[in-house]
Amino acid sequence: MIATEFTRDGLKLGEHKHITYQALQREFRCNDCGGRPVVKYGDSGWYACCGRCGGQDFIHEATLQHQKADAIEVLDGLPEYLRKLVT
């Protein structure tokens, strides 16, 4: 979910969900690299971005864990020669 409409206390995440910066840092990860969000103050005011890559597309921690578990199941189901290509 893309982060938009940054305020001093929080931001809009996705279409309609407004959350605080504390909830963002506690419950979400970067959708691109898996890094933790950080809150910064810049020329245009407060904003949040990934601490690693600077992205503003975040995913909930539980969703990330589900995706990792699904990936493990998919890899286990692949033939050995295909598994070697991916890992």
Sign of CA dihedral 13, 18, 24, 27: negative
- Please list the pLDDT of the chain residue by residue as tens digits (87 residues): 898 899 889 999 988 789 999 999 999 999 999 999 999 998 989 999 999 999 999 999 999 999 989 988 998 899 999 888 887
* Residue extents of the structural domains in the chain: 3-86
- pLDDT at position 87, please? 72
- pLDDT at position 63, please? 92
- pLDDT at position 20, please? 94
Question: How many C-beta atoms surround the C-beta of residue 38 within 10 A?
Answer: 15
